[in-house]
Each structure stands twice: as C-alpha cells, then as structure tokens.
Amino acid sequence: MTDAVLELPAATFDLPLSLSGGTQTTLRAHAGHWLVIYFYPKDSTPGCTTEGLDFNALLPEFDKAGAKILGVSRDSVKSHDNFCAKQGFAFPLVSDGDEALCRAFDVIKEKNMYGKQVLGIERSTFLLSPEGQVVQAWRKVKVAGHADAVLAALKAHAKQ
C-alpha cells in the first residue's frame, strides 16, 4: 500500500513535540525513518502500561526494521518521565497537553466514563513511511497482540 490512509496537514510535521526526558522534536526530524506513533489515554493505567511494555519488548525488532516509536498522551512530561522510569521504556513519550498532535491524527473522541460523556484519546496507532505518509492506521485498538500486528505491518510495508 503506497497511498496515504490519512492526510496530515503540512504544519503537523513542524509541531514542537515535548518528550519525556525534557527534549523536543518534530515529526519532520524523523524523516527518512519509519515511524510508529501510538496514542494512548493515560500514563500508568493497566492497558496503557501493557501496550507500552509490548512495544518496548519488540523495540529491537522495530529498530532492525528501521522504525522509531513515539507514544503520545495528554499527560505531562513529568508524568511521562515517571512512567518511563517505572516501566523501563526505551523510547520517548510525547506530552500533548494542548492536543495539537491528537487533533491532527483525529484521536480525540467522545467516550463514556462512569456514565458521563467526556472527550478523551481513542487508543490508536499510525505507521508513517520514511516519506511521512500515513500508510496504515489502527483505531479503537485492543492492546493484546497489537504491538505484534504493528511490527508485522511494518515489515510488510518495508518490503514494498
């Protein structure tokens, strides 16, 4: 598949992204590499922890395939630093408190929490080609087996 499955506004590639560890980057800085961007609701919750650990366990294989991983939530950099330290994540987490990246990828959705409608991040993952095209998207992600599915898709796309 070479056609983009989601067209991102050009400005998305230059959004300043605050990372765990206190550094900054942009999506453009990752040009030339495959990029896995996974959006998750909240640091240190069971599903989000499992998802992060699953990606972390496969990190050597993602690296071998030429891919970088970024996890994204609305949590603060400090929260991300604590989450990374506690779980041993070897990839950065993006603090998207203003939801600019979340909105560019259209992952802010209405959810039902304890009988109340709230806006939150819908667990989603996107695979970007080295040219910056979104070549595959997973929405309403179920955590079990997801990181493996993303790795398999990366390998399939990288062969094309």
Residues annotated catalytic, as ranges = 48
- Where is 152: in which H helix or E strand? helix 146-159
In angstroms, the CA 146 to CA 51 distance is: 8
Take residue 131 and report the two structure tokens written for it. Answer: 């040219």
- The answer to whether the CB of 55 falls within 8 A of the CB of 69 is yes
- Going from the C-alpha of 19 to that of each of 9, 31, 102, 113, 125, the distances in angstroms are 21, 17, 15, 28, 18
